Structures are given as structure tokens and as C-alpha cells.
Amino acid sequence: MTTPAITVYLPHVSASSFASAGATAGDPRFRIGLNCAGAGGNVYVTLTDTSNPADRSETLSVKNTSTATNVSLQLLRGDGSIVSYGADSASSGTANQWLAGPASTMNDIPLTVRYLATGTATPGTVAAAATFTLSYQ
């Protein structure tokens, strides 16, 4: 990994953008940087919700320091599919682990994060955290 810790700042968005559940906004892109030169096999990724490690949903829990209500976050893979969370484990077959690609061609793993309304939102701050676990299989 060339980026073991990543901080992503989402843009300020008006609460009126989240008048009903399911509305999304934000969408900054970021990458998990890799240097897999000479590695064999495939790179698999699992993201774990640090606020709720048992989470297996598509919604990242916000930290209890967040002040906005009815807002959570979603992460999307480079192909636009929504990430579901799994255990912090490199074991083959971990729930919601996905194939990022062949190790020999991997330079990074592209992701996008966005706000997701879970109801009518109120203004405030939103903070969340996830860990990523990579495994070569």
C-alpha cells in the first residue's frame, strides 16, 4: 500500500438537498494506492465500518460526534457499484470481500464517497471511518 491512511473531505451540501430518504450528494473520488510489482494472484478488498464492525450493509455508519441527522455515507467502487461492509479479515470468502483485480496490474483501487439521506436531514457535521483490508489470493 502506498496510502495506508486516507482522509477524504466531502463538499458542504445544503440540508435541503436531502429532503427525503435515498437522496445523494457529494461524490469526491479517492484512491487506495498500491505497489504490487512482482506480486502474483489477485487483490481482494474488504472495507469495515469502524463505528459498527458488525455492519454488513451498504451504508457507512457516522461517528457519534456527527451533528447532522438522517445522513450517512456510501462508498462506491470504480465501476459505480456500492460497497457493502465486512469483517476486518484477509481470509478468503470474507463477507462482502471483492476482487479488485490481478495483482500484477494493480496500481490503485478507485473509490467514491457520497452523502446518503436516510430521512429528512438536518444541518450539521458528518464524520465516518472505515478500514480496508487487502489480501492476495
Q: Which residues contact 51 (CB under 8 A, 6 or more apart)?
A: 60, 61, 62, 63, 64, 128, 129
pLDDT value, residue 61: 94
Q: How far apart are CA 24 and CA 116, in angstroms?
A: 5
Dihedral sign computed on CA atoms, order 92, 111, 76, 6: positive
CATH topology of domain 15-136: Immunoglobulin-like (2.60.40)
Per-residue confidence (pLDDT) for residue 76, from 0 to 100: 98
pLDDT digits (tens, 9 = 90+) for 26-71: 999 999 998 887 778 899 999 999 999 999 999 999 999 999 999 9
The pTM of the whole model exceeds 0.85: yes
Q: Where are the domains of the chain?
A: 15-136
Q: 118 pLDDT band (50/70/90 cuts)?
A: very high
**Is the pLDDT confidence value at 112 over 90?**
yes
pLDDT > 70 in the chain, percent:
99
